[in-house]
Structure 1
Amino acid sequence: MKILLVDDHAVVRMGLKVLLNAVPDMEVVGEASEGDEGIKMALDLLPSIVLMDLSMPHGKDGLSATSELKKQLPDTEILILTMHDDEEYLFRAIQAGASGCVLKSAPHQELIDAIKTVCSGNAYLHPAATRRLMDQYLGNLKQDQQDLFQLLSDREKEVLTLIAKGYANKDIGEKLVISVKTVETHKSNLMEKLQMKTRPELVAYALKKGLLGYGI
């Protein structure tokens, strides 16, 4: 694994070089102190992975350099090194094309594992970031479901509840005093609004929303 270090602190680069060169199959092939220099060296050295500092006050910063480098060397992996334990920086790094993010405060073994993971073609996020990403994803999913439910009319919610209780279209029509064709229209609208395709999906959704008096 040929590694290029891009960090504005010479002491940090020295420490990383000593650490990584002691690992079998890893070799630091170059060092750069800012983004533009890092891009130039990467084009010359063609490293397997670039360890990119996120915050570099002089020259191109880590995010800009990552984005530019991925355009020119799409097969080169980039692992962001940062002091910021913040999902905003994480999202921006991923959007820029980075394959992962490691805190500078992380143990040495975590950094080594992260490099191996990224070089094998997988993404790497430090554990705290992974937890926050999962929480945010689940939160967004829950919010999306709540928003979709709000799109339903009162009549559609009634039809959904009766579908979940196992009533056939004809029975639903009799209970609500509407035609079978109208029931089918409501059912079609339900599926479209909730982005579902089958009756079992509607039943499962109704259960989760507690429309039968209990949720799962």
Structure 2
Amino acid sequence: MVDDQALVRGGFALILGADPGIEVVGQAADGVEALALARQLKPDVALMDVQMPRMDGIEATRHLVSSQQTGDVRVLVLTTFEDEEYVYGALRAGASGFLLKDTEPADLVAAVKVIAAGEALLAPTVTRRLIEQFVVADASRQRRLSLPALTEREVDVLVAVARGLSNLEIAEELFVSHSTVKTHVSHLLAKLGARDRAQLVMLAYQSGLAKP
């Protein structure tokens, strides 16, 4: 749990620690402390604030996901609507999802579990606004990204992932089994060299396959 405000950090830690499926292994007040603790404790998820002293959440995320020691840590970014430009930076740095700071306690617990499982992006409203305002704008300023050859079904799944659908929702929409969708997502991650679904979303929009 990484946040420079002790009350926020402690409150989230109490909420998460009360769930039998989650253990809060450490708390950090900034990115520097977060990196040191992550190397020591090897958490599954880092719940990361953006604006912090010494090292902000974006830089800390970049270091976490690029290091051999902490590369398996999934970063869940805490954000507000006013932080959208920072959120895009966090996405490019390797964050796996986003969560609004005013989220309900039950949603916080569910979000951490979802990110740990690598299942889906979070806070759909944030994701949609992020895509519309930053991912698409960034893609328009650059050459359209060329993707490796994908099957027709893989393209369908990739576009659905970019819309923020879960595997179960994709299965229902495409009239296939849940396990089939999981297989397609795994193939997409491998073919596109993507770390998780967050990166699949960015690649889908930057390639032009998905549109807001």
After TM superposition, the score normalised by the length of structure 2 is 0.58
In structure 1, stretches of 5+ residues that fail to align are 144-216
Q: Who is 2:109 aligned against?
A: 112
Residue 131 of structure 1: CA displacement?
2.9
Cα shift readout 1:135-157 (whole Å, capped 9, x = no counterpart) = 569977xx8xxxxxxxxxxxxxx
Residue 75 of structure 1: CA displacement?
1.0
In structure 2, stretches of 5+ residues that fail to align are 141-212
From the superposition, tell whether residues 82 and 138 of structure 1 become closer, same or farther in structure 2 (CA, over 3 Å).
Answer: closer
Residue type matched to 1:11 in 2?
Answer: L
Residue 39 of structure 1: CA displacement?
0.1
Counterpart contact for 2:75–2:95, Cα < 8 Å: yes
Q: Who is 1:69 aligned against?
A: 64
How do residues 23-172 of structure 1 correspond to structure 2 at under 5 angstroms? 23-56=19-52, 58-72=53-67, 73-133=70-130, 135=132
Residue type matched to 2:77 in 1?
Answer: I
Tell me the percent identity: 42
Residue type matched to 2:102 in 1?
Answer: S
Q: Who is 2:160 aligned against?
A: none
Indicate which of 2, 19, 35 corresponds to 1:6. 2
Counterpart contact for 1:50–1:78, Cα < 8 Å: yes
Matched, 1:19 2:15: yes
From the superposition, tell whether residues 78 and 138 of structure 1 become closer, same or farther in structure 2 (CA, over 3 Å).
Answer: closer
Residue type matched to 1:125 in 2?
Answer: L
SS at 2:15 equivalent: helix
Q: Which has the higher strand share?
A: 1
From the superposition, tell whether residues 107 and 36 of structure 1 become closer, same or farther in structure 2 (CA, over 3 Å).
Answer: same
Residue type matched to 1:39 in 2?
Answer: L
From the superposition, tell whether residues 11 and 134 of structure 1 become closer, same or farther in structure 2 (CA, over 3 Å).
Answer: closer
Cα shift readout 1:74-97 (whole Å, capped 9, x = no counterpart) = 211010112344542222111011
The count of aligned residue pairs is 137
**Alignment RMSD, CA only?**
2.3
From the superposition, tell whether residues 88 and 138 of structure 1 become closer, same or farther in structure 2 (CA, over 3 Å).
Answer: closer
After TM superposition, the score normalised by the length of structure 1 is 0.57
